[in-house]
Structure 1
Amino acid sequence: MKAFAELLDRLVLTPQRNAKIRLLADYFREAGDPSRGYALAAIAGTLSLNTVKPQLIRDLLLERMDEVLFRYSYDYVGDLAETVSLVWEPPQERVAADIPLGEVVERLQMAGRSEVRSLVRDTLDQLDTSGRFAFLKLVTGGLRIGVSARLAKQALAEMGGKDVSEIETLWHGLTPPYLPLFLWLSGEADMPVLKTPAVFHAVMLATPVGEGDLEGLDPADFAAEWKWDGIRVQLANIGGVRRLYSRSGDEISGAFPEILEAAGFTGVIDGELLVGGTARSNQATGTFADLQQRLNRKTVNRKMLEDYPAFIRGYDILFSGERDIRSEPFQARRQALAALIDAASPQHFDLSPLVPFSTWEELDRLRANPPDPVIEGVMLKRLNSPYVAGRAKGPWFKWKREPFNIDAVLMYAQRGHGKRSSYYSDFTFGVWTESDGQTVLVPVGKAYFGFTDAELEILDRFVRDNTVERFGPVRAVRAEPEAGFVVEVAFEGLNRSTRHKSGVAMRFPRIARLRADKLPRDADRLETLLAMIEEKALR
């Protein structure tokens, strides 16, 4: 665990992307099997463990520590794993040992439910402070070290001198601890051959249009499509094996059985998963809030299938039949995709329409006023571009609509994780409305990004100086018409929601500006947000 703990510490303190890749690559070269494979799985989010609930960890600590002292310590440190790792006192006869990460993981995987408690206690007794911290982060599934699965794959590519697209092709056909993968990367074996052909292929991503990005580019070299507000998916049917994946490669087949059943073609397509009706069925497309009713479910019942019918709006095609056509230009792939969808079920598949335009100014006007409220912008695709994994700047751009903005009042705050564990960085904000004849704040969203480090210092200080009530880890802050903190919140969309007290749900909210120039009484009202929904519905 010592090498893994040191890796986590250094990754947290290393902000540069390339430096993180070098740290990971060095670790993967030097660590033995199966420890490096389990470390990779933990970082990439593919490790399956008998996860340990935070309450169990608290209970174990309180066997050896006064509860009041623990609460004060936890409140000061702000992170449970860090607190426990610092204050845990092993029996005097125990000497700290360096247990291999692979051994720790395999112990947990083999442990029965009744054995987990004693296993966690014994492991904490054997490890030193940094090892305990790494172990607790591992078993609670809360690494949060600023490393994505994609970055970990880049590190594997650097370690083995391979192209990251080769690793992406293999990724979903292999399982932890990835022994065949590391043997290939180390030059000790050939590239693994996958047993199941219908695996996920890394998607091609678009670069957001920034200032000046379109200058000098000829509009005639690009095709434009609407950017729909669903989720990006990849549907594969190869060798009779059908799979539906999210953009990140998570399999979501169980939640959308009708899509798999309707996939009578052979190939791999890329598209947007939406609910409602396809353009070919002449029914309205549902909102992202409607789609959320189907997401994150292992199975769905008949009523769910009837109320929220799902379909795929095709963007691209990777395999036509069993032939890989990713190297062909976009125009050729588009023709192949159109032919496939034309022969597919009209209730479950349609083709993303092209947006005619001749100048960037014309496209900008169309982007600002799309024909459907479910559209959140346009996609630009160079006509001769191959389908390349990752986010290469130039072939594809996304040009989203300008975000919505409101002024809201901070209501609640909670500490963050990782580097932010000592700061209040997760914020709930609200707007004014009338209730029982009184003007009150009602929460409308949460945000934990958008602000700079300097602004975080200001927000954290306000929370500490203005806490009026505590609910476990949550702090309620002063929020009155004449006293409080106003923030400008930007968000991509807004829908009605029965799950929220306010009746609205924001899409991708973030704090855009701190409004020290405004009093809370000047913040927006719930009626303003409801009017935005009505305006969107009338478009």
Structure 2
Amino acid sequence: MNRFAELLDRLAYEPRRNAKLRLMTAYFRETPDPERGFALAALTGALSFANAKPGVIRALIAERTDPVLFALSYDYVGDLSETVALMWPGPPPAGRPDPSPQREGSRGLASRGHNHPPAPTLTEVIEALTATLKPDLPHLIAGWLDGLDETGRWALLKLITGGLRVGVSARLAKTAVAELGGLDPDAIEEVWHGLEAPYEPLFAWVEGRGEKPEGASAVPFRPPMLAHALEEMDVAKLDPADFSAEWKWDGIRIQAVAGSRQGQREGRRQVRLYTRTGEDISGGFPDLIEAILLDPAFDGAIDGELLIMRDGLVQSFNVLQQRLNRKSVTPKLMAEYPAHIRAYDLLAQAGEDLRVLPFRGRRERLEAFVTGLATSRIDLSPLVPAASWEALTAARADPASAGGGADAAAIEGLMLKRHDSTYVPGRPKGPWFKWKRDPHTVDAVLMYAQRGHGKRSSLYSDFTFGVWRGPEGEEELVPVGKAYFGFTDEELSQLDRFVRQSTINRFGPVREVVHGRDSGLVLEVAFEGLQSSPRHKSGIAMRFPRISRIRWDKPPREADRIEFLEALLRGRN
């Protein structure tokens, strides 16, 4: 566990991608199985412990420290794992009595003779957390915390609470594994699903000691091809005649894959639904999975957009969110939020890999593929006429007039794909471009702030802002959104300084800052769209709000009013 803790500690303080990659590759090379496999599972988010929750940690630290001191410390540090790791009382020096209460079943038994258990291995921790019943967890975790140093305690608690936050994506961790054998990271992605921690067959293959794992070869995830944002300089260089244009729908990018393993009886098919990062979300959409299973014509893999369709109309992303990340999916939920796929691309068909074909050829195959499907849950994303930049600009600004029709409100912009582009994983420069519609902006007043997590745990980086509501002379600020990105590091320092100097009240970890007609700070907030929301005091929810500018030049009394946002919302509908 100490070796893994050291890795996490170094990753947390290392800002450079390549340096993080070298740290992980060295760890995987030097650490034996199964320890390194469990470390890989932790770094890729593949671990979860049903009974180990933050509440267990809070209860444990409440027994060992003063609750008021812990609350103040947590408010200052901003991170539960780090606060507990620093405050957990270690064993007293030899010869000095232990001042803590002697409690059976917890630290008391070990501390009487100062016989704290040795630091556990990562493997021991994961196996024990998986097998231990909930009533026995506090004693188990307390024993580990007693035997670890501050860094080890921090790593253990991060592992238990499920939020490592060390600046490592699942993709980067898999890239480090690929480095062991000089493989392309995409080769790891294509065998990843179906493998389980501690991934010993994977490491054996990468190091040349075993065969390539079969994994879920009948329904593999294929790393997606991504687009670059279209810049003004690109418009001057590119010829629209070389590209196909299609709508960029406001859902989530997915892959739907169906097939049978070699040797399986006909009809024993598998279906998977993956996000663009490779997360298997099949369990959240059983209606869609069943529709594909029952359609014998679906044998392959499509790249598309997951949407909610009602009465033939695409619903907003906010409606789709009602289906995402649900632990249980009821018949009522499926009926109220019917899932749908709008297909962009065909990656494989009947065992044939189509990614080597040019986009125009794949598009022809896709059109025939979708036409042959029996299910109504999948349709084709239409192409947009791309005769000139003027036509594309007009379509982007007003999708309804360029074929978007009644679904225009669910269109984020345009995708431009070269006719001759093969399907290449990653984000190659040149073949694909995304040209999103310009975001909306609103001038709002900063009202509340809260510390962030990880590297931002010492800074106020999560900001709640509001606009004016009510008749003149009796206006009040009503919160309309919360943002935690969009600013530079320098601007974050300025915002943090303002919060600390302007705090007028505190509510746990939240600070209320001065805000009135003549005092306060105005923020220009960019957002993608609005949705009616009875859960919010303003009745409005923002999509992807981010701070685009600090308006030091604008007094709070000149910030926007709620009527401005209500007009935008009516215009959408």
CA distance in 1 between partners of 2:69 and 2:14 (Å): 32
Is contact 2:385–2:391 with CA below 8 Å preserved after alignment? no
Give the match for residue 90 of structure 1: 90
Deviations 1:303-328 (A, max 9, x none): 43333322111000111122221111
CA distance in 1 between partners of 2:216 and 2:329 (Å): 29
State the TM-score, normalized to the length of structure 1: 0.94
Counterpart check, 1:138 vs 2:159: yes
CA distance in 2 between partners of 1:476 and 1:51 (Å): 35
Counterpart check, 1:357 vs 2:386: yes
CA distance in 2 between partners of 1:392 and 1:345 (Å): 35
Report the AA paired with residue 77 of structure 1.
V
CA distance in 2 between partners of 1:376 and 1:394 (Å): 21
Give the match for residue 276 of structure 1: 309
CA distance in 2 between partners of 1:482 and 1:51 (Å): 51
Q: Which of 241, 244, 251 pairs up with 1:230?
A: 251
Q: Which of 356, 372, 375 pairs up with 1:343?
A: 372
Give the match for residue 8 of structure 1: 8
Is contact 1:491–1:509 with CA below 8 Å preserved after alignment? yes
Counterpart check, 1:81 vs 2:58: no
CA distance in 1 between partners of 2:279 and 2:216 (Å): 18
CA distance in 2 between partners of 1:171 and 1:24 (Å): 18
Q: Which consecutive residues of structure 2, in runs of 5 or more, have no partner in the other structure?
A: 93-113, 261-268, 401-407
Task: Specify the SS of the correspondent of 2:143.
Answer: helix
Structure 1 residues 193 and 435, CA, compared in 2 at 3 Å: closer, same or farther? farther
Counterpart check, 1:180 vs 2:201: yes
Q: 1:204 offset after TM fit, Å? A: 1.5
Report the AA paired with residue 446 of structure 1.
K
| Greater Cα shift, 76-85 or 400-409 | 76-85
Q: 1:488 offset after TM fit, Å? A: 0.8
CA distance in 2 between partners of 1:233 and 1:342 (Å): 20
Give the match for residue 460 of structure 1: 496
CA distance in 1 between partners of 2:132 and 2:231 (Å): 52
CA RMSD of aligned residues (A): 2.0
CA distance in 1 between partners of 2:445 and 2:457 (Å): 23
Deviations 1:101-137 (A, max 9, x none): 1222112111111111111100000001111111111
CA distance in 1 between partners of 2:284 and 2:176 (Å): 33
Structure 1 residues 38 and 500, CA, compared in 2 at 3 Å: closer, same or farther? same
Give the match for residue 61 of structure 1: 61
Q: 1:228 offset after TM fit, Å? A: 0.6
Give the match for residue 554 of structure 2: 518
Task: Specify the SS of the correspondent of 1:143.
Answer: coil
Counterpart check, 1:334 vs 2:370: no
Give the match for residue 530 of structure 2: 494
Q: 1:418 offset after TM fit, Å? A: 0.9
Q: Which of 236, 241, 253 pairs up with 1:215?
A: 236
Deviations 1:283-316 (A, max 9, x none): 3221112222222224433443333322111000
Give the match for residue 206 of structure 1: 227
Report the AA paired with residue 419 of structure 2.
L
CA distance in 2 between partners of 1:187 and 1:95 (Å): 41
CA distance in 1 between partners of 2:166 and 2:81 (Å): 14
CA distance in 2 between partners of 1:431 and 1:51 (Å): 42
Q: 1:178 offset after TM fit, Å? A: 1.2
Give the match for residue 300 of structure 2: 267
Pairing 1:45-60 to 2, within 5 Å after superposition: 45-50=45-50, 52-60=52-60
Q: 1:72 offset after TM fit, Å? A: 2.9
Structure 1 residues 436 and 225, CA, compared in 2 at 3 Å: closer, same or farther? same
Say which one has the larger Rg.
2
Report the AA paired with residue 388 of structure 2.
T
Report the AA paired with residue 527 of structure 1.
E
Q: What is the number of residues matched between the two proteins?
A: 533
CA distance in 2 between partners of 1:436 and 1:533 (Å): 23
Q: 1:470 offset after TM fit, Å? A: 2.2
* Identity between Structure 1 and Structure 2 (%): 56
Q: 1:346 offset after TM fit, Å? A: 6.1
Task: Specify the SS of the correspondent of 2:566.
Answer: helix
Counterpart check, 1:32 vs 2:53: no
Give the match for residue 369 of structure 1: 398
Give the match for residue 161 of structure 1: 182
Give the match for residue 418 of structure 2: 382
CA distance in 1 between partners of 2:121 and 2:549 (Å): 46
Give the match for residue 391 of structure 1: 427
Is contact 2:21–2:172 with CA below 8 Å preserved after alignment? yes
Q: 1:141 offset after TM fit, Å? A: 1.0
Deviations 1:330-374 (A, max 9, x none): 111111111111122463121111111222343123212222111
Q: Which consecutive residues of structure 1, in runs of 5 or more, have no partner in the other structure?
A: none
| Greater Cα shift, 58-67 or 237-246 | 58-67
CA distance in 2 between partners of 1:487 and 1:94 (Å): 56
Q: 1:63 offset after TM fit, Å? A: 2.0
| Greater Cα shift, 241-250 or 310-319 | 241-250
Structure 1 residues 416 and 238, CA, compared in 2 at 3 Å: closer, same or farther? same
Give the match for residue 105 of structure 2: none
Give the match for residue 446 of structure 1: 482
CA distance in 2 between partners of 1:331 and 1:482 (Å): 59
CA distance in 2 between partners of 1:224 and 1:456 (Å): 38
CA distance in 1 between partners of 2:472 and 2:323 (Å): 35
Q: Which of 275, 282, 290 pairs up with 1:246?
A: 275
Is contact 1:198–1:243 with CA below 8 Å preserved after alignment? yes
Task: Specify the SS of the correspondent of 1:276.
Answer: strand
Report the AA paired with residue 309 of structure 2.
G
Q: 1:504 offset after TM fit, Å? A: 1.5
Report the AA paired with residue 131 of structure 1.
G
| Greater Cα shift, 412-421 or 471-480 | 471-480
Give the match for residue 294 of structure 1: 323
Give the match for residue 171 of structure 1: 192
Task: Specify the SS of the correspondent of 1:250.
Answer: coil
Deviations 1:468-506 (A, max 9, x none): 222222222222222112111111122222232222111
Is contact 1:94–1:126 with CA below 8 Å preserved after alignment? no
Is contact 1:96–1:128 with CA below 8 Å preserved after alignment? no
Is contact 1:289–1:497 with CA below 8 Å preserved after alignment? no
Report the AA paired with residue 303 of structure 2.
D
Q: 1:405 offset after TM fit, Å? A: 0.7
CA distance in 1 between partners of 2:448 and 2:220 (Å): 43
State the TM-score, normalized to the length of structure 2: 0.89
Structure 1 residues 9 and 437, CA, compared in 2 at 3 Å: closer, same or farther? same
Report the AA paired with residue 481 of structure 2.
G
CA distance in 2 between partners of 1:478 and 1:53 (Å): 36
